[in-house]
Amino acid sequence: MDIEKIVKKTIEKYNLINKKDKVVIALSGGKDSTTILYILHKLKYNVEGLMIDLKLGNWSKTHNEKMKEFCKNLGIKLTIVDLKEELGQGICFIKTVLKKQKNLTGCTVCGIIKRWILNKWAKKLKADKIVTGHNLDDEAHTVLMNFLKGNIYLGVNSTPMTGGENHEGFVQRIKPLFFTPESEILKYAKEKNFDILYDKCPCAIGTYRVETRHWSEEITNEDKLKIVENFQELIPKLKKERTTEIKKCESCGEPCKGKICNACKIFEVMN
């Protein structure tokens, strides 16, 4: 499978990026975000890297070092944001407090905080787009999880171009690997000999997302594509039924749906 071709097609079909855009790639140091950085650079887009150092001991240190080297070799600028400097705590501590006090599980908290920091820093870097490494498996998995939660409306923003439409405070997030199967990304990264770590986040244990991850192994890539494409057809109808107005968070000024954004609700518990 030619994944560069799939990425190109996705960019064209959804008009994700143009050559004038300053594109910031959210880098976890894993195979997906590294691969999309490599491909967009190869396609001559104006890219730079943005990585949040989650302060997860040696795991974070190694990821950071490897990304520094990877970006240096390609001549790509990389900004690393220190989570402790941003929030005063590492992610594990924050997650433990939130689990205890609000029964919010790991990946939800991490996702909210990452999105908040990425949006804030992408604005500082004057980015036109933020790219994340979400792939076809992630998206199929999300559709199925939302079904099981009994709330398919949770998926209204699960599109190759998410959020940010028409709101000044948002930097538009895009997912050029939306239709690319994880197995093919892994193959590509190994073929290119990317010097990165292939293990999962050490904090992602015991969450619903992680426990149901094996679904991906049991569904063919063709079926994953059907799940994702069929859901895309539904989205315009879902959007018509439920539109939410985007406002400014009264605490931090970042965009949000209610009065206070989800990140600030987390910070309130921390203080």
Interface residues toward ligand AMP, by CB under 6 A: 26-28, 32-33, 51-52, 54, 111, 114, 132-134, 201
Toward ligand AMP, which CB reaches closer, 54 or 249? 54
Secondary structure class of 49 (helix, strand, coil): strand
Binding partner selected for residue 27 from Zn ion, ligand AMP, none, CB under the kind-specific 5 to 8 Å limit: ligand AMP
User: What kind and span of H or E run contains 63?
Assistant: helix 57-74
**Shortest reach from residue 265's CB to Zn ion, in Å:** 8
Question: Which of 79, 251, 265, 269 lies at the binding interface for Zn ion (CB under 5 A)?
Answer: 251
Closest CB 85 distance from ligand AMP, rounded Å: 14
Angle (CA) 24-27-31 rounded to 5° is: 130
Q: Residue 251 binds which one of ligand AMP, Zn ion, none, with CB within 5 to 8 A depending on kind?
A: Zn ion
Burial class of residue 143 (count of CB atoms within 10 Å of its CB; 0-12, 13-18, 19+): buried
Asked if 203 is part of the footprint of Zn ion (rule: CB under 5 A), the reply reads no
Residue by residue, DSSP assigns 193-231 as: T--S--PPPTT--S-HHHHTTTHHHHS-HHHHHHHHHHH
Q: Which does 264 bind (CB under 5 to 8 A by kind): Zn ion, ligand AMP, none?
A: Zn ion
Report which DSSP code applies to 135: -
At its nearest, how many Å lie between ligand AMP and the CB of residue 31?
9
In terms of Cβ atoms closer than 10 Å to its own Cβ (0-12, 13-18, 19+), residue 46 is middle
- Sign of the dihedral defined by the CA atoms of residues 120, 124, 127, 131, in that order: negative
Nearer to ligand AMP, 4 or 86 (CB): 86
Q: Out of 67, 122, 261, 266, which residue is the one contacting Zn ion (CB under 5 A)?
A: 261
Task: Specify the residue, 27 or 261, whose C-beta has the smaller distance to Zn ion.
Answer: 261
DSSP 8-state code for residue 131? E
Considering the complex, what minimum distance in angstroms separates the CB of residue 209 from ligand AMP?
9
Radius of gyration of the chain (CA): 18
Which C-beta is closer to ligand AMP: that of 68 or that of 247?
68
Looking at beta carbons only, is 217 or 245 nearer to Zn ion?
245
Using rule CB under 5 A, residue 252 touches Zn ion = yes
Dist. CA 257–CA 118, nearest whole Å: 18
Residue nearer to ligand AMP on the CB measure, 132 or 232: 132
Burial class (CB in 10 A: 0-12, 13-18, 19+), 50: buried
261 binds, among ligand AMP, Zn ion, none (CB under 5 to 8 A by kind): Zn ion
Contacts with Zn ion, residue ranges (CB under 5 A):
249, 251-252, 261, 264
